[in-house]
Amino acid sequence: MGFQMFRFLALLTSVLIVFGLISQVLSRNHGYYTIVAPGTIRSKSIFHLSISLSDFHQSCWLNISLQDGHQEPLNLETIEIQPKTTKLVELQAPYLIEKVGKLIVIGYRGIIKTEFANINFEHDSYSAFIQTNKAKYKPGKLVEFRVIFINQLTRPAQIDDVIIVMIYDGQENLIKQIVNVKLVQGVFKGEFQLSKLPVLGEWKIKVEVGGDLAAEKSLDVARYVPPKFLVKINTKSNVAVNEERISLEISASYFYGEPVKGKLNIHVNNTYAASHDKLPVFEKELAIDGKTTIDLDMKNDLQMQIGNKDHYSKKLYEFFIKAFMIDDLSKLKAWTSAEIAIHNQPYKIILQAPRVFDSSEHFRLMVSRY
């Protein structure tokens, strides 16, 4: 904000007003007083004047007023200034309509004269913001929003001009217009219902004050695309028959990491069964919230008959496990599978030797647990 300086030179009963000068203006018989004021005054805000009286033998009384356009001057303050002193005066500007006005100073004791200076007026400053309850909306949903007006002190602003709220769809069609908006503590709350088949894309909420754009907010209207998810089975791929139980840890999560809540179906098939007997040996349906653990008993759940198998067979059984899940939220489906081999012994022997060798050669046997 620029400053405008003007001086009143006391010459008996007359006053000389000089704009924009910093140097002192002297009189042969009398002193002078100086008033420093802002070049622009904001509507309904506080501003300050600095008044100094120099080389004058008595105090002066001044009346300070503002004139908004051609309206009657509004008296702001009457002050007394002592010789050789400087006084800082705090004044409250009224609601201003015009862009240019006058600062009027009337001296009625000590110096009797009326003078004025042109002053720029700035309307009450405010900031407008639009908030929505979501950033994205599906067709058929209710959009709730609010418009907030605050002044330069971050307090609720008083808006005297006409406020209009306009809603535009993704093709810039005006869908709704709210006129003569009334604020409550600087806030207006509104809502509008999206149809089941709206124009998709970027919608906009615009707010105009006195015909000028004050705020704008974009929101996305799009069809809901359910997030995909992944099902995993965590278990041993090789199990010894003496362990008696098989533990399955099954988890389901979206690709961004959040757990999936839904219905899980488990099917276990014996891959060694005859072609006419391919029904699952075990089935289970349960609800899970991201993760669950299932323990399978080899005899009761998997129907294993250990005694009928060759004691030295490498594999007694092999099972194919399928986990199938439906997401409660999106109804999307996902599945995964795993294979488990059941061995007679918990150890495996690996022979490291050539295919043909004589009795004098050495070879290596490695024994490890499954």
H/E segment holding residue 138:
none
CATH number for region 229-348: 2.60.40.1940
pLDDT band, residue 52 (cuts 50/70/90): confident
- Name the residue with higher pLDDT: 188 or 349: 188
User: Which option is the CATH number for 3-122: 3.20.190.10, 3.90.1570.10, 2.60.40.2950, 1.10.287.1260?
Assistant: 2.60.40.2950
pLDDT band, residue 247 (cuts 50/70/90): very high
Kindly state the tokens that stand for 142. 């209710």
**The architecture CATH gives domain 126-221:** Sandwich (2.60)
Residues 253, 259, 264, 270, CA torsion sign: positive
Exposed / middle / buried, residue 260 (Cβ in 10 Å: 0-12, 13-18, 19+): buried
- Name the residue with higher pLDDT: 147 or 9: 147
Q: Are 217 and 128 in contact (CB under 8 A)?
A: no
Q: What is the pTM of this model?
A: 0.45
Domain spans in the chain, listed from the N-terminal domain onward = 3-122, 126-221, 229-348
* The predicted structure's pLDDT at residue 43: 74
Mean pLDDT for the stretch of residues 327-343: 90
* The predicted structure's pLDDT at residue 355: 67
B/e letters for 4-25, b = 16+ CB within 10 Å, e = fewer, are bbbbbbbeeeebeeeeeeeeee
Share of the chain above pLDDT 90, in %: 36
Q: In 3-state terms, the chain is what percent helix, strand and coil (to 5)?
A: 0, 60, 40
Which long-range contacts (C-beta less than 8 Å, at least 24 apart) are formed by 171-175?
171/199, 171/201, 173/199, 175/203
pLDDT band, residue 124 (cuts 50/70/90): low
pLDDT band, residue 17 (cuts 50/70/90): very low
Point out the least confidently predicted range of 13-27, 92-106, 121-135, 203-217.
Answer: 13-27
Q: Which of 95, 117, 99, 105 is nearest to 161 (CA)?
A: 95
Neighbours of 300 (CB within 10 A): 10
pLDDT band, residue 2 (cuts 50/70/90): very low
Average pLDDT, the chain: 81
* The predicted structure's pLDDT at residue 30: 54
pLDDT band, residue 95 (cuts 50/70/90): confident
- Name the residue with higher pLDDT: 14 or 72: 72
- Name the residue with higher pLDDT: 56 or 297: 297
Domains 126-221 and 229-348 share a fold: yes
* The predicted structure's pLDDT at residue 161: 86
